[in-house]
Every structure is written in structure tokens, then in C-alpha cells.
Structure 1
Amino acid sequence: MAEPVADQNSALPESAPDKQDEGTETTNGNREAAKYRTKLREAEAKLEATEKRVHSLLRAQVESLAAKDLSVASDLFDIGGVSIDDLTDPEGNVMSDAVDAAVKALLAKRPGLRNGPSPWGDVGGNRRGSIPDSPPTMLEALKFTRR
């Protein structure tokens, strides 16, 4: 009897990739891409939070510079319509001369926003002297009425 001739295709090793292995590689690639997308979103969220923090710090610095002339420093932004970008240089530093110019321009249009003395002055609500150890006597009270 003659032996059957071995087929060349049957001589392939069994470790050749089949469709199941291709699906696993695709799944691993998707997992890795999803991991990088997650890291990207986390980095974007941190960047956004940092930008907000820097913006609020810059605003606080501008308001502290504007407070010497304005009674309410935030009026520079709210009423004056100025933005942080108008008052910072390209590197992001606050330019004090730009803040002064913006405050002067706002005060030229709205002089009532100026930081000035209170209209009533000191009406005695705040005791400026030291508090006496004992209350005044009736004789001391009557001395003030004779004037």
C-alpha cells in the first residue's frame, strides 16, 4: 500500500495567528488607546484648573493695584469692561502702568467710583480714644451740658 502524501498546508505550525488572535491584538490596542485618552482628559482637566487659578491670582493682583484709586476694585472689570488680557504683557505678567491707565480712563467716565473720604466723616461711632476704666460720674456729665 502506498502511503498518503503529506499536504504542504498541514505542515504549518499551529502557532500561526488566527482570527481570534487578531481580535485580541485589536482589543489590546483599543485598551491602550482608551488609557491614553483617559490620561489626556485628566491632563486637560488639570490644565484648565491651573488656568483658572492663575486667572484668579492675576485678577486679585490687578484689583489690589486698582484699589488705591477705586472704592470697589472689581469695578474696573465689571463697569470698565477691562479684561485680564488687556492688562498683562505677552508673558502673562501684570503691567502696573496699564492698570493705572485703565483706572484713570474709568474714573474719567465715572468719577463717582473714586476712592475718597466717606461723606459723613467721623460721627463718633468708632471710639478713637481709650475706653475709661470707670463710667463718668453725674458731675462730669453735667459739666458737658453747661457749654
Structure 2
Amino acid sequence: MEGSDTAPDAIVEADATGNSKDRGAANKEAAKYRARLRDAEAKRDELTERLATLQRGQAETLAREYLADPSDLWRDGIELTALLDDDGNLDPARVAEVAQETVAAHRHWAAQRPPKRNPAGSGGGFKSGATGTDNYRQAPSWHKVLNTTRGDA
């Protein structure tokens, strides 16, 4: 019976040795996957930050119509997520609404509109050819230019 007792012990030792090898390989593989996961998470975070930066820039571009300094859009604590639609895209109507609310709360942040000029008015600019107010002088004809002997030129 002693012979039969040693055989199972030998099998247990062999299993334990085999398990430790398998466990070491499994740990290496798990470590490899953890490293891949950390790399993927870092890349995801980087891309998320880039997207947020681009969306903030786009929101500021849209807000420029209403605000002198488009970065004022964020000064009242508005978050980018409040300007996104259900799909995560920037909602131009929501940006315009928030920019108008910001201008209503802070009038001095409003974009200055250039004064409208009347191009035909006394302020200069272009004048219509039909005004008749220009000092129009008829150009000399070729006949008058070439025929200087008569003194008409």
C-alpha cells in the first residue's frame, strides 16, 4: 500500500509544478493585457481631450457673432456638455442661445457691430452712377485728340 501512497503524491507534485508554470504564463499574459488596457485608456483620454478642445473652439467660433471675446462663453460656468446634442455633437442653436443669454447678463461682453454706412451718403464709399451729382465731364473724342490744329482739344 505504500507504493500506491507515493504515486498520488508524485502526481500532486507534478500538478503543482505544472500549475505554477501555467500560473506564471497566465500572469504574464494578464500583465500584457493590463498594459494594453492602460495604453488604450490613455489613448482614449487623449482623443477625448482633443475632441473637447476642437468642440470648444467650434463653440467659440459660433459665439463670436454675439461676444466680443468668444472665450467669455465659459466665464459664467457653462460646461461643454451643455452645448452638445444627444449624439455628442455641438448644437449650434444651443451655442447661440447660451451666447445670447451671456450677452443679456453681461452687456459689456457683446460684440461691437460696425456702424452701417450709407455708401451713397456723405460718409464716403461708393456712389451710384445714376446719382447725377458727380462733376461729369465728357471725355474728348478721338477726333479732337488727333486733330489739334483746330484748337479744339
TM-score strictly above 0.5 = yes
Task: State how 1:116-127 maps to structure 2 within 5 Å.
Answer: 116=112
Is structure 2 residue 60 aligned with structure 1 residue 63?
Answer: yes
Backbone CA RMSD of aligned residues: 2.4
Task: State how 1:1-147 maps to structure 2 within 5 Å.
Answer: 7=3, 17-77=14-74, 79-116=75-112
In our comparison, the structure showing a higher alpha carbon Rg is: 2
Higher helix share: 2
> Alignment partner of 1:74: what SS?
helix
| Inter-CA distance 11–27: structure 2 relative to 1 (3 Å threshold) | closer
CA shift for structure 1 position 104: 0.9
CA shift for structure 1 position 23: 1.4
CA shift for structure 1 position 82: 1.2
What is the one-letter code of the residue matched to 2:41?
A: E
| Inter-CA distance 22–106: structure 2 relative to 1 (3 Å threshold) | same
Q: Which runs of 5+ in 2 are unaligned?
A: 115-153
TM, length-normalised to structure 1:
0.67
Determine the C-alpha separation between the residues in 1 that align with 2:97 and 2:80: 14
Determine the C-alpha separation between the residues in 1 that align with 2:40 and 2:97: 38
What is the percentage of aligned positions where both structures have the same residue? 30
Q: For residues 106-125 of structure 1, what are the alpha-carbon distances to aligned partners after superposition, in whole Å with 9 as ceiling and x for unaligned? A: 1111000011159xxxxxxx
CA shift for structure 1 position 70: 0.6
CA shift for structure 1 position 21: 2.3
Determine the C-alpha separation between the residues in 2 that align with 1:70 and 1:11: 86
> Alignment partner of 2:60: what SS?
helix
Q: For residues 35-89 of structure 1, what are the alpha-carbon distances to aligned partners after superposition, in whole Å with 9 as ceiling and x for unaligned? A: 1111111110010001001101110110000011111101101x22211111110
Answer 1 or 2: higher relative contact order, Cα 8 Å, separation at least 6: 1
